[in-house]
Structure 1
Amino acid sequence: MRNEMMYRPIINEDILHYLRTEQKSLTGALGELEELAHENGVPVIPHETVVFLQFLLRQKRPKTVLEIGTAIGFSASLMAETLGEDAKITTIDRFPVMIEKAKKNFEKLDLTEQITLLEGDAADLLSSLEGPYDFIFMDSAKAKYITFLPECLRLLADDGILMVDDIFQAGTILQPIEEIPRKNRAIHRKLNEFLAEITKSPELSSTLLPLGDGVALISKNK
């Protein structure tokens, strides 16, 4: 399950290597999980995004967090450990293989009381949630970002932050559609729709960062 986007950097490779190797490492069982994921090509957030997410969460100190896209549970565990027991994490995934791996990792890290795993399609589950959430992290099917955005904004607290991962498609996002392989064109179109919405909407503030395969931070204008 190699994450190709992690190996097609959108910034200088020397800088990328520095960001991934010279910033503070995770320790304990969570550090072991990160290392194991990278060794086996499991798609988890790269270390430069890990460090940024830790910093952001420590400044924001959200009490309620929603994640869309659990995968093996690494990022949910990172958020839980960074914020401590006062914060509650709700995470959504629809793939049985990932769900089982995430459950095992939450148990191993003793986070089952802090993290609630919802099993099913986010398209169905988001509408059943009430919120508000102080922080939402979306790292799921890229073509669905534009679809999930209205529900995320509904669930987001007025002073909350929505963080969206993997928005630049390994730096190809601005290429003409004709240059994109046919199998990736739907994702390309939907991601461009998403980027246009979050950068142009008068109701939103956003900033885009070249971390990993690109990160967007979005808040609602008051």
Structure 2
Amino acid sequence: MIVNDRVTDYINSLERSRGPLLTEIASKARKERVPVIREETASFLISLVEAKRPAAILEVGTAVGYSTLLMAGAMPEKCRITTIEKYEKRIPEALQNFERAGESERITLLPGDAGEILKELTGPYDFIFMDAAKGQYLVWLPEIMRLMVPGSMLVSDNVLQDGDIIESRYAVERRNRTIHGRMREYLYELKHTDCLATSIVPIGDGVALSVLRERVR
């Protein structure tokens, strides 16, 4: 954990129930080791959607649809979500969860590789949530920015890699070194791109919140 475990436990103890369906989806996903966002990150995501009041949301990485439904519950009635998922085995469960929640009409799931699908989208999206293959964030960023308009929010999850991001590449496991290097490059790009205002928040596994500026400063 990035933040002291006791602090995180206390924060999560304050949470109200998200309802039986979302509680069931999250519990089942974690038991089966499906990657879903942590509860403190879920609260942060909901607050951002409530504050932004987006018209169109893009999510990269559906998994079983937990974060998708969290956003659907916070977004305005006329807002729509487009979500992308590559792992075929999870798609039927996500679609079933959308149906159970009564949100199928407001959510469109696009199956396939995000790198290819992003090139075909026209947008614009005023809220984008990235929670997929961490090693691809930097690769996807140009297409993501193309789909944004001034004021659009980009929320990138899992950017601090349980704190490993601060370590030398030789201090992380060999199999994780490529992702470690790419994530460092991604965060540098977010912080040094003039048209983005980015804050890196040490919550959950690390969240980067970027807003597209009206003009380059």
State which of 161, 165, 178 in structure 2 corresponds to 1:169.
161
1:160 match? 152
1:55 counterpart = 2:47: yes
1: CA distance between counterparts of 2:206 and 2:76?
A: 27
State which of 168, 186, 207 in structure 2 corresponds to 1:194.
186
Does structure 1 retain, via aligned residues, the 8 Å contact 2:60–2:129? yes
* TM-score, scaled to structure 1: 0.92
Does structure 2 retain, via aligned residues, the 8 Å contact 1:198–1:206? yes
1:68-121 deviations in whole A, cap 9, x for unaligned? 000001111111121143110000011111111111111111111110000110
2: CA distance between counterparts of 1:25 and 1:151?
A: 36
Does structure 1 retain, via aligned residues, the 8 Å contact 2:53–2:76? no
2:116 match? 124
1:219 match? 211
Does structure 2 retain, via aligned residues, the 8 Å contact 1:142–1:187? yes
Return the offset for 1:216.
0.3
Name stretches of at least 5 consecutive residues in structure 2 with no aligned partner.
none
2: CA distance between counterparts of 1:187 and 1:62?
A: 31
1:137 match? 129
Name the amino acid aligned to 2:70. L
Moved over 4 A (4+): none
Does structure 2 retain, via aligned residues, the 8 Å contact 1:167–1:191? yes
1: CA distance between counterparts of 2:50 and 2:19?
A: 17
Name stretches of at least 5 consecutive residues in structure 1 with no aligned partner.
1-8
Two-structure CA RMSD over aligned residues (Å): 1.2
* TM-score, scaled to structure 2: 0.95
Name the amino acid aligned to 2:2. I
2:106 match? 114
Does structure 2 retain, via aligned residues, the 8 Å contact 1:24–1:51? no
1:23 match? 15
Does structure 1 retain, via aligned residues, the 8 Å contact 2:55–2:76? no
Does structure 2 retain, via aligned residues, the 8 Å contact 1:19–1:47? no
State which of 31, 37, 53 in structure 1 corresponds to 2:29.
37
1: CA distance between counterparts of 2:15 and 2:65?
A: 22
1:82 counterpart = 2:71: no
Tell me the secondary structure at the aligned position of residue 150 of structure 2.
strand
Name the amino acid aligned to 2:151. D
